[in-house]
Amino acid sequence: MPSHATLLAPRARDVEHDCVYGVRALSPVAEIRLLAARELRRSVRSAKGIIIGIITLLGAFITSIIAVRIENSFREAAGAMSNDAFLEAKKAAAERMYGDASFAAYSASVPTSLHIFLNATVWLGPLLIALLGFDVMSSDLQHRSIRFWAIRTRRWSYFTGKTLGLWATVSLITLALNVIAGTVVAVKGYVTIGQLFTWGLRFWLVAVLIAGTWATIAALVSSLFRTPMLSLLTTFVTFFAMWLVSLIGIIIRASDMVQTGVAKDMNWYEYLYPNSYDTMLLSPEAGRVLMALGILLGFILLANAAGAALFQRRDI
């Protein structure tokens, strides 16, 4: 009776065929594209992906209703205020929250319900990614299916393709969430079609970019373990530790603001938390947007390079 390892090992003629005609003949870009597409299809069709997708969409609908109710409360509280007075009130509230006068003036024109939904999407994104991506690499290592791919693709392109597949899955879910939120807000008459396309598209791009950072970290953690459960726990611990460090920075800055009355910039360690960049990405200043974009893309490239390098040396 052949052993488990023998059954998993590719036959000699398959290896020879692949070396001449198969995936090995493809460029790294083609390998990454094929693996990302395969991961996206697998995530969408799997029972786990379908269940998480249904729960997420249901949560998105409920969050949209809550966001609309909050905006409705704001408008009712404004009462007989003129539109200009209402925008000034929103500007003052945003300035107290973010400590940035230019951003407060810019964000006053943003539909409140869409902004609330963006915050919910960004802050709950790590949870969604942890549940979707904890086994993106560890399951292949556990079942040794990685041996099938190791002779057909480059390891670094395999890791990158799996990571991009996870990112694409999250981006697709996020798009569905934003469509639901935008539809609910538009039906209530709080945004025009033009606002829905301009702000809705920008909010989606912000959420997708931040999600890419989390997806890369999740793939990196997943590649360190053969047991998916250990990967899941470690991913949660890692994400929680990053959030805790950011929370400490927020508390320190809030305390300083209470004492001095001056809002300070983020501490250096707060820049290690991807969710801290949502405000910068929405800034009216092109320099701040480009800086946030460069940092997040650098974070993604660095984490992917580290994960690929560790995976390259891993015993499979």
In the numeric block, the tokens 């250096």 are attached to: 268
Query: What kind and span of H or E run contains 272?
Result: none
Give me the percent of the chain exceeding a pLDDT of 70: 81
96 to 70, 262, 263, 299: CA distances (angstroms) = 18, 11, 9, 30
Highest-pLDDT range among 52-56, 71-75, 84-88, 239-243:
239-243
What pLDDT sits at residue 124?
Answer: 86
Return the higher-pLDDT residue of 11 and 138: 138
- Residue 140, token pair as written in the block: 């292949």
Report whether pLDDT(20) > 60.
Answer: no
pLDDT digits (tens, 9 = 90+) for 171-225: 998 988 888 888 888 887 777 788 788 888 888 999 999 999 999 999 999 988 8
- Which band of pLDDT confidence, cut at 50, 70 and 90, is reported for residue 290? very high
Nearest to 63, CA basis, from 106, 12, 123:
123
Return the higher-pLDDT residue of 147 and 303: 303
Nearest to 43, CA basis, from 215, 272, 202:
215
What long-range pairs does 52-59 form, CB within 8 A, spacing at least 24?
52/128, 52/131, 52/132, 53/173, 53/176, 56/128, 56/173, 56/177, 57/176, 57/177, 57/180, 59/124
List, as one string, the DSSP characters of 93-150.
Answer: HHHHHH--HHHHHHHTTS-HHHHHHHHHHHHHHHHHHHHHHTTTTHHHHHTTTHHHHH
Please compute, for residue 116, the number of CA atoms within 13 A of its CA located in the half-sphere on the CB side: 18
pLDDT digits (tens, 9 = 90+) for 61-107: 788 788 778 777 776 766 656 666 666 777 776 666 666 666 777 77
What pLDDT sits at residue 180?
Answer: 84
User: For the whole model, what pTM was predicted?
Assistant: 0.83
Give me the percent of the chain exceeding a pLDDT of 90: 24
How far apart CA 162 and CA 160 sit, in angstroms, is: 5
- Which band of pLDDT confidence, cut at 50, 70 and 90, is reported for residue 50? confident
**Mean pLDDT for the stretch of residues 98-121:** 74
Using CA of residue 145, residue 208, residue 171, residue 273, what is the dihedral sign? positive
How far apart CA 19 and CA 9 sit, in angstroms, is: 15
Return the higher-pLDDT residue of 314 and 160: 160
How far apart CA 120 and CA 67 sit, in angstroms, is: 10
Nearest to 276, CA basis, from 249, 303, 257:
249
Mean residue pLDDT of the chain comes to 80
**Mean pLDDT for the stretch of residues 34-42:** 88
Where are the domains positioned within the chain? Answer: 26-312
Report whether pLDDT(138) > 80.
Answer: yes
